[in-house]
Amino acid sequence: MKVAFLGLGNMGHPMAQNILKAGHHLTVWNRSRDKAKDLVAAGAKFADTPAAAVRDAEVAFTMLSDDAAVEATVLGEHGLIAGLPRGAVHVSSSTISVALSQRLQAAHRDRGQEYLAAPVFGRPEAAAAAKLFVVVAGDAKDVERCQPLLSAIGQQTFVMGSEAPMANVVKLSGNFLIASVIECLGEAVALVRKYGIDPQQYVGMLTSTLFAAPVYKTYAGLIVNERFEPAGFKLKLGLKDVRLALAAGDGVSVPLPVASVIRDQALEGVANGLGDKDWSSLSLVAALNAGLKPR
Amino acid sequence: MKVAFLGLGNMGHPMAQNILKAGHHLTVWNRSRDKAKDLVAAGAKFADTPAAAVRDAEVAFTMLSDDAAVEATVLGEHGLIAGLPRGAVHVSSSTISVALSQRLQAAHRDRGQEYLAAPVFGRPEAAAAAKLFVVVAGDAKDVERCQPLLSAIGQQTFVMGSEAPMANVVKLSGNFLIASVIECLGEAVALVRKYGIDPQQYVGMLTSTLFAAPVYKTYAGLIVNERFEPAGFKLKLGLKDVRLALAAGDGVSVPLPVASVIRDQALEGVANGLGDKDWSSLSLVAALNAGLKPR
Amino acid sequence: MKVAFLGLGNMGHPMAQNILKAGHHLTVWNRSRDKAKDLVAAGAKFADTPAAAVRDAEVAFTMLSDDAAVEATVLGEHGLIAGLPRGAVHVSSSTISVALSQRLQAAHRDRGQEYLAAPVFGRPEAAAAAKLFVVVAGDAKDVERCQPLLSAIGQQTFVMGSEAPMANVVKLSGNFLIASVIECLGEAVALVRKYGIDPQQYVGMLTSTLFAAPVYKTYAGLIVNERFEPAGFKLKLGLKDVRLALAAGDGVSVPLPVASVIRDQALEGVANGLGDKDWSSLSLVAALNAGLKPR
Amino acid sequence: MKVAFLGLGNMGHPMAQNILKAGHHLTVWNRSRDKAKDLVAAGAKFADTPAAAVRDAEVAFTMLSDDAAVEATVLGEHGLIAGLPRGAVHVSSSTISVALSQRLQAAHRDRGQEYLAAPVFGRPEAAAAAKLFVVVAGDAKDVERCQPLLSAIGQQTFVMGSEAPMANVVKLSGNFLIASVIECLGEAVALVRKYGIDPQQYVGMLTSTLFAAPVYKTYAGLIVNERFEPAGFKLKLGLKDVRLALAAGDGVSVPLPVASVIRDQALEGVANGLGDKDWSSLSLVAALNAGLKPR
């Protein structure tokens, strides 16, 4: 298939690479060209604008950092929407607001273009290993058409309905749940530490019994060892996602009181210098609020 | 070994049974005698008071519903503490406050008796199958002495330090974490439902990927199917445990903001008739607050 | 002075009227023309677009319902910004986001126009009586120039610095404080009612002692009598303002945990049919959550 | 009248003094005798135990620091209850839990003694000036009988019903409302400070307009000037009262989400060294969480 890929950051680069490896024709675009070097060396073409990159595409992926970047890349000057052929599919994998996804859906409809939201769960290592979990929503025939590409980047695809923005709701609520694991483990670990209990033993017990899930194992380790650098996912980006989850709730009048707590704790973290550390440092906010010192 | 077991409720009865099956001499006591019938038929003795029950015991278990019951049974008239021989061990498996556990520890020390806190994780089915997870703290030699009994009731024992009340801290913080899973899933499911996403598909995705832990599988099923009766663990008891977790935090000045949210949501549930339903009905509070109807 | 006034709603209409009464030349604009009838009868001119309305103005007020309305009226087609002469002052009295106020400030600067933010405290009755409290920020010389007009609409002017958006911060934080009075009184009244205490006597005691402030007297009466209609200020608008206060906090990394609670309670109210009632109905959410029935 | 007064701390001492000044026969008791010196010099008798102090009393006041002190003084060895004549009245002015007040009510009933709860609003200066606000509940005839004494200590008496513990509910909910003023002002001041607005000007505006109540004036001054020492009322005591308000809510299933937030912020303050500072230092928690430095 003829594929375009816009956005070659931590996540986008390995995703594009896996699509190339799977044998598709790939055109890439990125704000700074040097991120594309190795892909070009491996056979991809580089385009100077989003519009140019998608000119001949059957499917065009976007994987960008936030709403502003997606808005600029898709709807801005020389944007994707100006170049994408009628009938071609825009697959939006970025973690963006439900509201922007709804606008993209409407904009593509107006121009006879197809639109899928296909955000992913997984950190950069998972993207490199093609082990992402892909959550996709949109027209069934588009999902089917794109399935080979989704299979090239992930280990499993979950279809969440025919309205694309639903996949964004699922992604944001999923990130909220991950954040809640960090926050709650952070509170619990602060509690046991202050009672003099060995936190390593404590989380060992949890993650070998009721909480034997990948997300607990990953984050319990980071929290107990206070290994907040290098950041796999920065606290300020985690804050952004919780903000978007709250906005998604606001949009349909759903209170999310734990998300509100997390937002406030994350703001406290950012206000006190943790914004560029891993979002597991949310646990450090809980520890400091309890009067504990970093170890 | 000569063992006494006080408290034959949903949890205590199968635990006592497993100790009997393992070949120990068992004397039991319960407020209402009829709960003991089958155990007596199987060879246990019944005693009329806690003090009488523990008179010859090497190890005496208590498994009672709350602080008041433990206080009455251990420190009250004809209580355990009056009968237990010097050097014998009281193993307290009830979910009680850290403060009461500290008082019990001191009271036993004063009389030359030994004291372990050994609360358990698992619902009645797990107790029947001897599949409980046992969290124990106290003197190492007492833990060693009691290990055969702990092995008779559980699948694994986790030692959490030499001060008995530490095991209570671990149990309460663990119950807080379970409650947080219910609360957060409840919020997330309310959100996706209000967007028209199939909640079954949603939790299916979660529990087959990042959240593939027993606690998520169990509660996601109860929440999505709104199967709140019969109650495996009542909301009012869940509220009690969150209250004790908050009190444990208060005792050493540790704020637990998510526990505070859960407390308030649980109070709302109890105020609106959910107290005797399963504590997974905490998710119903989130749904109702979002303007959703029970299905 | 030559004054333009854009937005003739509940608040804008009486403000415009008071400016006219004070003897200024007034041109008005409103989306629906009929709101302007009596003003035109009293000597005002009506213009068909915002741009036309401000063409000759020395000072142009805007008093509109939200960010979207202000954005359309000021920055949209035939917007204020296209018509306002260089050196003339735009006085923005709407309750808008700090972010939009910052954009307006920049846009006016680019065109050599002056910009003041001058939001007001007070309900429609106060606007009619020219008893508003005006909070203004911006260039000192512009404030001085506009003072006669501010005096025509309010009983007192408070200058809050030379950067216009500061006045918006003050207004939003003030509305947050009013909302907090409603929320906290709502919680306290639910508590005393459930104990069987006469709420009328209770708030009578409060408002004649420590809490003898206008805001407590006004809202305690509405809350205790559950007089939520007609709405002086709708809950959904109150929710909007709390959302903007939280966004103002977010913009400079300031957690506002009580504002988060209010947001969640207001969302619950809106989700359950209270959106068009007075925002004092926030107290009804507290009552219902406590299992109380509306009286 | 023959009056006993137990507890001569910051509040109790001036209250006892005012009763003496009003011409009543006074017997006092205090844990440390030296606090009573000047009262004895002025004509009061000193008794060695609570029981002895109340032996001939018609009315016996208690004004002690917390539940534990009241429990020991009233129900403990040589306690008030053992000495108070049948038909005499115990007036409990301490800020205690609703649960303890209910126990005292029952205990006095059992012995044919009368019981009023009469907590007060006001700081030590107000007690000295006999300007307290007294909230009283209990049997109407007892209230009437004690009115001359209540008038001797306060500027106004508010009767809140015939069940004594209702006065404790009112006192605790009142203290919650004061705490909410501190917390919310703290959040708002942190917000405006971070935007560079002069906090003095900001609170000046608030307290001369909508928030022109004594409680706002007092606390806004302390907050803006960060004058947290000497403590008029310590944060750890404020935390105690919020804890009791939450317990009062819990007792009748009333969620108090803002009280929960305050509890968590106060715990954070205590964990970080503010426990002995004035409870207006709750605002410092808000400031620090926003990344602000103490001035």
What is residue C126's three-state secondary structure?
Answer: helix
> Is the same domain home to C78 and C7?
yes
- Quote the pLDDT of residue C241: 97
Written as one letter, the residue type at C243 is R
Helix (H, G, I), strand (E, B) or coil at B16: helix
Q: Look at residue C232 in the predicted model and tell me its pLDDT.
A: 87
Collect all residues of chain B within an 8 Å Cβ-Cβ radius of residue A197: 160-161, 166, 169-170
Residues A180, B184 contacting (CB under 8 angstroms): yes
Same domain, A146 and A174: no
Q: State the pLDDT at residue C145.
A: 97
Low-confidence ranges of chain B (pLDDT < 70): none
Residue D123 clears pLDDT 90, i.e. is over it: no
Per-residue confidence (pLDDT) for residue A34, from 0 to 100: 95
Indicate the residue type of A201: Q
Residue C271 and residue A260: Cβ atoms within 8 Å? no
Q: Check: CB of residue A156 under 8 Å from CB of residue B209.
A: yes
Intervals of chain A under pLDDT 50: none
Does residue C294 lie in a domain region?
no
Q: Mark whether B153 and B52 lie in a shared domain.
A: yes
Cα Rg of chain A, angstroms: 20
**Pair (C61, C175) in one structural domain:** no
pLDDT tier for residue C123 given thresholds of 50, 70 and 90:
confident
Q: Rounded CA gap, D6 and D49, in Å?
A: 9
CATH of the domain at D78: 3.40.50.720
Beta bridge partners, D25, equal D2
Q: Which residues contact A106 (CB under 8 A, 6 or more apart)?
A: none
Are A7 and A112 in the same domain? yes
Catalytic residue among B35, B37, B141, B171: B171
Q: Is residue B295 part of a domain?
A: no
What's the confidence (pLDDT) of residue B283? Answer: 98
Residue C247 falls inside a structural domain: yes
Determine the Cα–Cα distance for residues C189 and A84; give it in Å rounded to an integer. 59
- Predicted model pTM: 0.96
Query: Distance between CA C144 and CA C148 in Å, rounded?
Result: 8
List residues in chain A touching D: CB distance below 8 A: 257, 268, 271-273, 289-291
What does the alpha-carbon distance between residue A27 and residue A57 come to, in Å, rounded to a whole number? 8
Residues C10-50 pLDDT 10s:
999 999 999 999 999 999 999 999 999 999 999 999 999 99
Which residue of chain C comes nearest to A266, CA vs CA? C255
pLDDT of residue B123: 87
Q: What number is the ipTM of this complex?
A: 0.96
Closest residue in chain A to residue B256, using alpha carbons only = A187
B213 → closest Cβ in A170, A205, A213: A213
Candidates A233, A188, D103, D272; CA nearest to B253 is: D272
pLDDT at C202 over 90: yes
Structure confidence at residue A294 (pLDDT): 86
On whether both B7 and B131 belong to a single domain, the answer is: yes
Tell me, yes or no, whether C208 lies in a domain.
Answer: yes
pLDDT of residue D172: 98
CB contact under 8 A, B205 and A177: no
User: According to the model, what pLDDT value does residue A86 have?
Assistant: 98
Which residue, among A31, A33, A38, A37, has the nearest Cα to A66 in the 3D structure? Answer: A31
Of the residues C107, C140, C163, the one at which a domain ends: C163
In a domain, B263, yes or no: yes
* B268/D250 touch (CB, cutoff 8 Å), yes or no: no
Among chain A residues, the shortest Cα distance to D274 is held by A291
Measure the CA–CA gap between C228 and C235, rounded to whole angstroms. 10
Using one digit for the tens of pLDDT, what is the confidence trace for C160-174? 999 999 999 999 999
CATH number of the structural domain spanning residue D224: 1.10.1040.10
Scanning every residue of chain D, which has its alpha carbon at the shortest distance from the alpha carbon of B251? D267
Q: Which residues in chain C are closer than 8 Å to D133, comparing Cβ atoms?
A: 205, 209-210
β-pairing verdict for B2-6 and B59-62:
parallel
Q: What is the pLDDT of residues D217-257, one digit of tens each?
A: 999 999 999 999 999 899 999 999 999 999 999 999 999 99
Start-to-end CA span in chain B (Å): 52
- The 3-class SS string of D88-157 reads CEEEECCCCCHHHHHHHHHHHHHCCCEEEECCEECCHHHHHCCCEEEEEECCHHHHHHHHHHHHHHEEEE
C267 & C194 share domain: yes
Q: Which of B103, B129, B163 is the last residue of a domain?
A: B163
- Which of residues A163, A179, A207 is at a domain's end? A163
Residue C180's pLDDT band (cuts 50, 70, 90): very high
Give the three-state DSSP class for B108. helix
Same domain, B13 and B151: yes
Chain A residues touching residue B291 (CB < 8 angstroms) = 253
How many Cβ pairs within 8 Å bridge chains A and B? 189
Q: Which of A89, A65, A96, A233 is nearest to A150 (CA)?
A: A89
| Å between A292 CA and nearest CA of chain B | 9
- Per-residue pLDDT, D275: 98
Tell me whether residue A283 is in a domain: yes
Residue A295 lies in a domain: no
Cα–Cα distance measured from residue C257 to residue C278, given in angstroms and rounded to the nearest whole number: 23
Encode chain D in three state secondary structure: CEEEEECCCCCHHHHHHHHHHCCCEEEEECCCHHHHHHHHHCCCEECCCHHHHHCCCCEEEECCCCHHHHHHHHHCCCCHHHHCCCCCEEEECCCCCHHHHHHHHHHHHHCCCEEEECCEECCHHHHHCCCEEEEEECCHHHHHHHHHHHHHHEEEEEECCCCCHHHHHHHHHHHHHHHHHHHHHHHHHHHHHHCCCCHHHHHHHHHCCCCCCHHHHHHHHHHHCCCCCCCCCEHHHHHHHHHHHHHHHHHCCCCCHHHHHHHHHHHHHHHCCCCCCEHHHHHHHHHHHCCCCCC
- CA dist., res. A208 & res. A212, Å (int): 5
Residue C171: active-site member: yes
C-alpha distances out from residue A52 to A57, A58, A81, Å: 10, 13, 10
The amino acid that residue A284 corresponds to is L
Concatenated DSSP letters of A4-36: EEE--STTHHHHHHHHHHTT-EEEEE-SSGGGG
> Between chains, do D256 and B264 touch, taking CB under 8 Å as contact?
yes
Number of independent structural domains in chain A: 2
Confidence band for D295, pLDDT divided at 50, 70 and 90 = confident
Question: Can you read off the two tokens belonging to residue C284?
Answer: 């009804």
B8 and B143 housed in the same domain: yes
**D167 with D135: CB under 8 angstroms?**
yes
* Res C295: pLDDT: 77
- pLDDT digit string, tens, across residues A39-90: 999 999 999 999 999 999 999 999 999 999 999 999 999 999 999 999 999 9
Residues 6+ apart with CB under 8 A from A251: A98, A99
Please give the single-letter amino acid code of residue B293: K
Residue B11 lies in a domain: yes
**What pLDDT, on the 0 to 100 scale, is given for residue C256?**
98
Q: Are residues A206 and A113 in the same domain?
A: no
- The pLDDT value given to residue A119: 98
Q: Which of C271, C273, C289 sits opposite B290 (nearest CB)?
A: C271
Residue range C81-104: mean pLDDT, rounded? 98
Eight-state DSSP code of residue B6: E
Residue C133 φ then ψ, to 5°: -100, 125
Domain identity same for B63 and B84: yes
Q: Is B267 helix (H, G, I), strand (E, B) or coil?
A: helix
**Per-residue confidence (pLDDT) for residue C88, from 0 to 100:** 98
Domain enclosing residue B136, as ranges:
2-163
Together in a domain, D173 and D138: no
